[in-house]
């Protein structure tokens, strides 16, 4: 039984590391796709980089602190990504509502790719969070999100752009966070296993 | 136990739910009626009798496709139920009937009610799909969201098809499936889930069962196949003649998949790829430097890529060719120097030097440098670039040099745009001091290659061997090391061409003597046959044929023999002669016969017929005509000789016949002739001759007769004939009336006839002179002088009638000699003009002189016309 448990434990650790690596890879992929999306958007709307430089503030999460443990860090990250997805979905809906469906171009395709990729990333961060002892299902905190969007077209376009940048930002944050995470997870799991054993004993 | 349970269940089935057949008043009911039965399994059915006691289970039997199932396969359940078990085989749909024997009239009349059937739809239980594999191709800059899987299925039938369902599950995310009856299917997702774990499997299902394939649980990258690398570029750097730098672009961003690469290259025209070891390229790189290449060579390079992770993903297809030439370098190695002695210049060592480019020219050879002693030549070459790139080493004719009798060392170097090769050396030994050749040189052909075998010479230590092959003006050679005893000619030998193959031992002191043999790589029939012709005219029974050897380039093999065919009519004869024969005499031919002849030249591969030549033999053999001619000539000569002999022996007769003797009056002896002695030729009318005529010719007349030609004589005759005279010759003619008594030349025959009968000439001489015109009155006083001449009689003398008529005048005539005519008085001339000539032209020449020389005695008393 011990051997079986040890095997399970090792498998779980490897699994987590693999999930973290996978999440990192997807985050990198998403970041690349977000950059592409922003390029396409700027090209589409003839915006310059300066006009779209202002961003952030759409996602509301607790401030990053060195005192946050892995679970909280992952929770913060996951929550931010959930808000990003909600904002992105809203932006897509708003754009289609305001500008109509029409023919799907590269921008629309890329926008969908980013949204789908973000969903995949969320699955992995959710797995990591679950592995780190977080809640199994996390309901996104949509309080304070500007889901309605601005009323004027220009503001709408800037709002969409801000959302894209927010996604880009949080994917970058995810990459940074996850790159140092596997050891943390391992240690965290090891600590938790030890504490569980000692509690049983 | 199980079987009994089944039977009970079947019975329950029957009792609980009466079969539909019962509604149609069938007395037999079968069960079960499955959707499909598995091929290869045993199927058990039950037939039950209902609503009648007329028949029992013993009267039942089963048929499958009109064939009755043997009773051994029946199981009687009770009096009204009968089981049967059959092995399902074949794929066709069949009926299994339960039938009843005709045990009664009612059964016969209601046969339709005493039967029931089960439709057997046969099928295979689905087999587990094997070899499941899935692939996702690159689409644009991403992977396609469509993943296509294929698998290997088991057999299935039309009535029992298998449906396959492909399941794809993105772990913790989504699940997809698609159904098909084929052995492949594609699943479309919203996005290709890079780095996500997928679980893929196939479920095969039909009415006989369901089975699943193994489950592939892999990351999505496991199934990806990218496009080949793009923008392949090769950079050639002059300072690195043996290296090329390759660069490329990955087909997809590394955020989607990290790739490793594979590179292969080959020389242009070659299809043998050299692969760069994986360890050098199995990483995320975008350039690679190929090294240890040949200078000045064109290389073709290809690159492909695959997921960097081992055992994940598929190799892409190879990229398009990227071609580049390496920079030039100085020639590596030495030229292959060789020579041949121009044997046409006897007494001189005129040597032609030839060489092949170095094996690695490393560029285009622009010139050769040749050095003998202190003499040096530069031989520029202007080969096309294509020549230098071919596999065949180019042969350059360097220089033809008169060498001294001493040993000569010849050095040759090859030069290209970068530099000069190492020198090649050939040693020409002192004249007449060449060491011996190899021994027992043999040539053969095997596997389309010509091989040589020899034993080394025993005259010195051989450094190497040069194998040379020559045909026409084409010469090539190869070098073999000193231990070689058996080799294959590596050059491109042509079939059906005769090669002079030589092996030269190369000693340290120079080139040795050659051993040479002739050989064909492959022999064929000659291109043309020999042209045959006759050496001279055909004889009576023989004809000598000659022909020329087939030109070397038409032989296409060693001529083994010639076969001479000759045909007359339907008879065909043939003679085989050795290959060194160029003439042959056909014997035993028929005379005066036309022959067609031709010659076939044979090699081991077959024969080729030459031209047809026709000739006709002579009718007669040589000498036969001469023999006949000689015989005929001899015969003719014999006739001539015999004729001459006959002529000589019978000369007198012939002479007498052709040239009768003319009596010479001058030599005649006139005897006394008494009238009492009647002459036998004398006729009574002769007695009437009373006088003689005297022919008196004066000198001018005589002369005219002798000297004038025939024409003038003829004219003279006419003159004479113009007057009426008669000849006095013969003396017995009567001159009763004038008549023409001189014959023309046409009358010669008459004259001859006339002369055929000889008579005696006679003259009547009156001893006492003329006594008057009445001879009858004085007959007793005359006497006759008779000539013994056998001179033929003249024409008129043969006609007694004429004689009788002319007798009176003729009797007065006589002939006299011309010499005596001078003595005659001139008054006799008129008489002489009256003299009658009866000469032919031929006779005139002979006869007249004779007449002139006759010894008539002149009539002393003279004569006067009365």
Task: Pick from A29, A106, A124 the residue to mutate for testing the B interface (most B CBs within 10 Å).
Answer: A29
Q: Which residues of A touch B144 (CB under 8 A)?
A: none
Distance from CA of A198 to the nearest CA of B (A): 32
Interface pTM, i.e. ipTM: 0.82
A147 part of contact set with chain B, CB < 8 Å: no
- Name the one residue in this structure whose structure tokens are 């069960």: B31
Both tokens of residue B169?
């599950």
For residues A156-178, average pLDDT: 89
Query: What is the model's pLDDT at position A201?
Result: 41
Which has the minimum average pLDDT: B271-275, B450-454, B503-507, B715-719?
Answer: B715-719
How far is Cα A4 from Cα A9, in angstroms, rounded to an integer?
A: 9
pLDDT(B654) > 70: yes
Neighbours of A9 (CB within 10 A): 13
Q: Name the pLDDT band for B212 (thresholds 50, 70, 90).
A: very high
Both tokens of residue A99?
């500008």
Query: What is the model's pLDDT at position B104?
Result: 86
Distance from CA of B255 to the nearest CA of A (A): 5
How far is Cα B406 from Cα A152, in angstroms, rounded to an integer?
A: 110
A22 part of contact set with chain B, CB < 8 Å: yes
Of B210, B57, B248, B244, the C-alpha closest to B128 is B210
Q: Which residues of B touch A127 (CB under 8 A)?
A: 172
Question: Measured in whole angstroms, how far is the alpha carbon of residue B691 from the centre of its chain?
Answer: 111
Query: DSSP assignment of chain A, as one string?
Result: -HHHHHHHHHHHHHHHHHHHHHHHHHHHHHHHHHHHHHHHHHHHHT--TTTT-----SS--PPP-TT--HHHHHHHHHHHHHHHHHHHHHHHHHHHHHH------HHHHHHHHHHHHHHHHHHHHHHHHHHTT--SS-----TT---S--SSHHHHHHHHHHHHHHHHHHHHHHHHHHHTHHHHHHHHHHHHHHHHHHHH-
Distance from CA of B179 to the nearest CA of A (A): 25
Do B764 and B790 contact (CB within 8 A), yes or no? no
pLDDT(B217) > 50: yes
Please indicate whether, in this complex, the C-beta atoms of B142 and A127 are within 8 angstroms of each other: no
In B260-418, where does DSSP find H-type helix?
Answer: 278-281, 385-389
| Nearest CB neighbour to B256, from listed A29, A126, A127 | A29
Average pLDDT along chain B: 78
Closest-CA residue in chain B for A27? B255
Query: What is the model's pLDDT at position B167?
Result: 96
Q: What is the pTM of this model?
A: 0.58
How far is Cα B505 from Cα B500, in angstroms, rounded to an integer?
A: 16
B 162-221 residues inside an 8 A Cβ radius of A: 172-173, 190-191, 193-197, 219
Query: What is the model's pLDDT at position B692?
Result: 47
Please state whether beta strands B146-152 and B130-139 pair in parallel, antiparallel, or not at all (unpaired): antiparallel
Which has the minimum average pLDDT: B443-457, B499-513, B675-689, B815-829?
Answer: B815-829
Neighbours of B79 (CB within 10 A): 12
Both tokens of residue B770?
């003329």
Please indicate whether, in this complex, the C-beta atoms of B190 and A127 are within 8 angstroms of each other: no
Closest-CA residue in chain A for B140? A106
Closest-CA residue in chain A for B143? A113
Q: Name the pLDDT band for B670 (thresholds 50, 70, 90).
A: low
Q: Which residues of B touch A25 (CB under 8 A)?
A: 194-195, 255
DSSP β-bridge partners for residue B97: B63, B117
Q: Which residues of A touch B194 (CB under 8 A)?
A: 25-26, 29
Query: What is the model's pLDDT at position B862?
Result: 40
Both tokens of residue B528?
């043309």
Query: What is the model's pLDDT at position A161?
Result: 87
Do B265 and B277 contact (CB within 8 A), yes or no? no
B 216-255 residues inside an 8 A Cβ radius of A: 219, 253, 255
B173-192 pLDDT tens trace = 889 999 999 999 999 999 99
Please indicate whether, in this complex, the C-beta atoms of B195 and A127 are within 8 angstroms of each other: no
Please indicate whether, in this complex, the C-beta atoms of B191 and A112 are within 8 angstroms of each other: yes
Query: What is the model's pLDDT at position B424?
Result: 93
Query: What is the model's pLDDT at position B14?
Result: 45
A112 part of contact set with chain B, CB < 8 Å: yes
Please indicate whether, in this complex, the C-beta atoms of A120 and B196 are within 8 angstroms of each other: yes
% of chain B beyond a pLDDT of 90: 44
Which of B324-333, B342-351, B732-741 is modeled with the greatest confidence? Answer: B324-333
Please indicate whether, in this complex, the C-beta atoms of A116 and B190 are within 8 angstroms of each other: yes
Q: Name the pLDDT band for B626 (thresholds 50, 70, 90).
A: confident
More confident residue, B780 or B346: B346
Please indicate whether, in this complex, the C-beta atoms of A119 and B173 are within 8 angstroms of each other: yes
A28 part of contact set with chain B, CB < 8 Å: yes
Please indicate whether, in this complex, the C-beta atoms of A29 and B194 are within 8 angstroms of each other: yes
For residues A39-47, average pLDDT: 85
How far is Cα B5 from Cα B11, in angstroms, rounded to an integer?
A: 10
How far is Cα A179 from Cα A185, in angstroms, rounded to an integer?
A: 11
Closest-CA residue in chain B for A115? B191
Query: What is the model's pLDDT at position A140?
Result: 61
How far is Cα A38 from Cα A111, in angstroms, rounded to an integer?
A: 9
Q: Which residues of B touch A119 (CB under 8 A)?
A: 173
- Name the one residue in this structure whose structure tokens are 């020999």: B530
Do B774 and B650 contact (CB within 8 A), yes or no? no
B556-613 pLDDT tens trace = 999 999 999 999 888 898 999 998 889 999 888 888 889 999 999 999 999 999 988 9
Cα distances from B91 to residues B43, B121, B161, in angstroms, run: 15, 8, 12
B140 part of contact set with chain A, CB < 8 Å: no
B142 part of contact set with chain A, CB < 8 Å: yes
% of chain A beyond a pLDDT of 90: 22
State the burial class of residue B211 (Cβ atoms within 10 Å of its Cβ: 0-12, 13-18, 19+).
middle
For residues A29-48, average pLDDT: 88
Query: What is the model's pLDDT at position B230?
Result: 93
Distance from CA of B173 to the nearest CA of A (A): 7
Q: How many CA atoms lie within 13 A of B460 on its CB side?
A: 19
Q: Name the pLDDT band for A16 (thresholds 50, 70, 90).
A: low
How far is Cα B519 from Cα B442, in angstroms, rounded to an integer?
A: 10
Of B688, B725, B692, the C-alpha closest to B813 is B692
Instruction: Kindly give, in sequence order, each residue whose CB lies less than 8 Å from that of residue B557, ignoring residues fewer than 6 positions away.
Output: B496, B520, B523, B524, B525, B526, B603, B604, B605
How far is Cα B770 from Cα B859, in angstroms, rounded to an integer?
A: 11
Please indicate whether, in this complex, the C-beta atoms of A119 and B194 are within 8 angstroms of each other: no
A116 part of contact set with chain B, CB < 8 Å: yes
| Nearest CB neighbour to B172, from listed A29, A32, A127 | A127
Average pLDDT along chain A: 76
Please indicate whether, in this complex, the C-beta atoms of B195 and A119 are within 8 angstroms of each other: no
Closest-CA residue in chain B for A126? B172
More confident residue, A125 or B537: A125
Which of B22-31, B470-479, B805-814 is modeled with the greatest confidence? Answer: B470-479
Do B481 and B522 contact (CB within 8 A), yes or no? no
| Nearest CB neighbour to A26, from listed B172, B190, B195 | B195
Both tokens of residue B215?
């489950």
pLDDT(B688) > 50: no
- Name the one residue in this structure whose structure tokens are 């230590």: B461
A 44-103 residues inside an 8 A Cβ radius of B: none
Both tokens of residue B598?
């031709």
Closest-CA residue in chain A for B142? A113
| Nearest CB neighbour to B255, from listed A32, A120, A123 | A32
> Reduced to 3 states, what is the DSSP secondary structure of residue B62?
strand
Closest-CA residue in chain B for A26? B195
pLDDT(B742) > 60: no
């Amino acid at each position: 039984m011990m051997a079986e448990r040890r095997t399970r434990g090792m498998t779980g650790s490897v699994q987590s590391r693999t999930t973290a690596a996978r999440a990192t890879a997807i985050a990198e992929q998403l970041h690349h796709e977000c950059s592409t999306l922003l390029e396409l958007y700027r090209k589409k709307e003839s915006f310059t980089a300066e006009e779209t430089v202002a961003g952030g503030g759409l996602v509301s999460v607790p401030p990053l602190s060195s005192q946050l443990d892995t679970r909280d860090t992952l929770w913060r990250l996951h929550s931010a990504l959930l808000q990003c997805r909600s904002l992105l979905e809203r932006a897509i809906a708003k754009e289609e509502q305001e500008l109509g469906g029409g023919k799907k171009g590269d921008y629309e395709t890329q926008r969908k790719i980013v949204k789908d990729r973000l969903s995949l990333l969320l699955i992995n961060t959710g797995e990591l969070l679950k592995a780190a002892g977080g809640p199994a299902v996390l309901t996104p905190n949509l309080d304070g999100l500007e889901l309605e969007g601005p009323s004027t077209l220009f503001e709408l376009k800037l709002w969409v752009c801000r959302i894209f940048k927010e996604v880009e930002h949080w994917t970058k944050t995810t990459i940074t966070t996850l790159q140092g995470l596997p050891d943390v997870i391992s240690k965290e799991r090891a600590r938790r296993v030890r504490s569980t054993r000692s509690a049983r004993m | 136990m199980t079987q009994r349970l089944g039977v009970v269940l079947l019975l329950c089935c029957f009792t609980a739910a009466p079969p539909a057949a019962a509604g149609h008043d069938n007395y037999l009911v079968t069960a079960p009626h499955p959707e499909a039965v598995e091929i290869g399994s045993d199927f058990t059915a039950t037939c039950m009798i209902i609503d009648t006691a007329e028949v029992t289970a013993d009267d039942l039997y089963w048929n499958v496709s009109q064939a009755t199932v043997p009773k051994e396969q029946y199981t009687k359940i009770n009096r009204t139920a009968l089981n049967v078990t059959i092995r399902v085989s074949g794929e066709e749909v069949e009926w299994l009937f339960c039938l009843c024997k005709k045990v009664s009239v009612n059964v016969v009349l209601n046969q339709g009610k005493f039967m029931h059937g089960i439709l057997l739809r046969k099928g295979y239980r689905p087999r587990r799909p094997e070899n499941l594999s899935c692939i996702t191709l690159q689409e644009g800059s991403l992977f396609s969201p469509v993943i296509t899987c294929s698998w290997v299925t088991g057999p299935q039938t039309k009535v029992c098809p298998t449906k396959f369902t492909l399941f794809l599950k993105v772990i913790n995310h989504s699940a997809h499936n698609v159904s098909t009856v084929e052995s492949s299917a594609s699943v479309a997702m919203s996005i290709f889930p890079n780095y996500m774990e997928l679980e893929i499997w196939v479920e095969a299902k039909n009415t006989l069962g369901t089975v699943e394939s193994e489950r592939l649980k892999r990351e999505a990258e496991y199934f990806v196949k990218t496009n080949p690398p793009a923008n392949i570029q090769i950079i050639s750097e002059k300072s690195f003649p043996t290296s090329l730098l390759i660069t490329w672009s990955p087909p997809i961003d590394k955020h989607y998949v990290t790739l490793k690469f594979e590179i292969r290259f080959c020389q242009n025209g070659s299809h043998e790829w050299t692969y760069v070891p994986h360890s050098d390229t199995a990483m995320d790189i975008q350039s690679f430097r190929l090294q240890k290449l040949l200078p000045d060579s064109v290389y073709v390079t290809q690159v492909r890529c695959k997921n960097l992770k081992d055992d994940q993903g598929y190799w892409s297809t190879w990229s398009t060719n990227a071609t580049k030439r390496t920079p030039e370098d100085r020639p590596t190695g030495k030229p292959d120097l060789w020579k041949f002695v121009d044997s046409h210049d006897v007494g001189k060592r005129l040597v032609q030097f030839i060489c092949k480019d170095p094996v690695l020219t490393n560029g285009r050879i622009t010139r050769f440098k040749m050095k003998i002693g202190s003499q040096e030549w530069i031989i520029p070459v202007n080969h096309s670039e294509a020549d230098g790139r071919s596999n065949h080493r180019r042969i350059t004719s360097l220089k033809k040099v008169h060498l001294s009798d001493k040993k000569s060392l010849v050095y040759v170097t090859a030069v290209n745009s970068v530099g000069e090769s190492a020198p090649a050396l050939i040693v020409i030994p002192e004249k007449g001091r060449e060491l011996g050749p190899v021994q027992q040189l043999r040539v053969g052909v095997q596997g389309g290659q010509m091989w040589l075998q020899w034993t080394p010479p025993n005259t010195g230590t051989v450094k190497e061997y040069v194998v040379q092959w020559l045909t026409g003006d084409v010469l090539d050679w190869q070098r073999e090391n000193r231990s070689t005893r058996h080799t294959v000619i590596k050059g491109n030998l042509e079939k059906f061409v005769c090669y002079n193959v030589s092996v030269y031992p190369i000693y340290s002191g120079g080139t040795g003597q050659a051993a040479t043999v002739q050989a064909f790589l492959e022999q064929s029939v000659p291109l043309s046959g020999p042209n045959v012709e006759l050496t001279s005219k055909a004889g009576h029974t023989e004809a000598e044929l000659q022909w020329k050897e087939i030109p070397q380039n038409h032989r296409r093999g060693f001529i083994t023999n010639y076969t001479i065919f000759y045909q007359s009519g339907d008879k065909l004869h043939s003679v085989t002669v050795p290959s060194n024969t160029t003439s042959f005499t056909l014997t035993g031919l028929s005379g005066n016969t036309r022959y067609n002849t031709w010659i076939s030249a044979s090699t081991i591969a077959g024969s080729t017929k030459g031209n047809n030549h026709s000739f006709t033999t002579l009718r007669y053999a040589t000498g036969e005509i001469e023999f006949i001619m000689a015989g005929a000539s001899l015969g003719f000569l014999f006739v001539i000789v015999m004729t001459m002999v006959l002529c000589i022996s019978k000369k007198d007769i012939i002479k007498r016949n052709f040239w009768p003797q003319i009596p010479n009056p001058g030599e005649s002896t006139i005897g006394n002739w008494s009238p009492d002695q009647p002459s036998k030729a004398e006729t009574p009318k002769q007695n009437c001759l009373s006088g003689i005529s005297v022919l008196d010719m004066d000198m001018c007349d005589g002369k005219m007769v002798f000297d004038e030609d025939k024409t003038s004589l003829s004219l003279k005759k006419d003159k004479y004939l113009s007057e009426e005279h008669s000849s006095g010759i013969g003396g017995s003619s009567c001159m009763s009336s004038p008549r023409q008594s001189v014959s023309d030349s046409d009358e010669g025959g008459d004259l001859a006839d006339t002369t055929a009968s000889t008579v005696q000439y006679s003259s009547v001489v009156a001893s006492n002179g003329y006594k008057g015109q009445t001879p009858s009155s004085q007959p007793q006083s005359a006497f006759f002088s008779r000539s013994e001449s056998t001179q033929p009689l003249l024409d008129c003398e043969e006609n007694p009638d004429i004689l009788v008529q002319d007798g009176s005048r003729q009797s007065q005539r006589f002939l006299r000699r011309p010499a005596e005519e001078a003595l005659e008085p001139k008054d006799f001339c008129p008489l002489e003009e009256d003299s009658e000539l009866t000469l032919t032209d031929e006779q005139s020449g002979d006869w007249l002189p004779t007449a002139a020389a006759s010894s008539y005695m002149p009539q002393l008393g003279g004569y006067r016309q009365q």
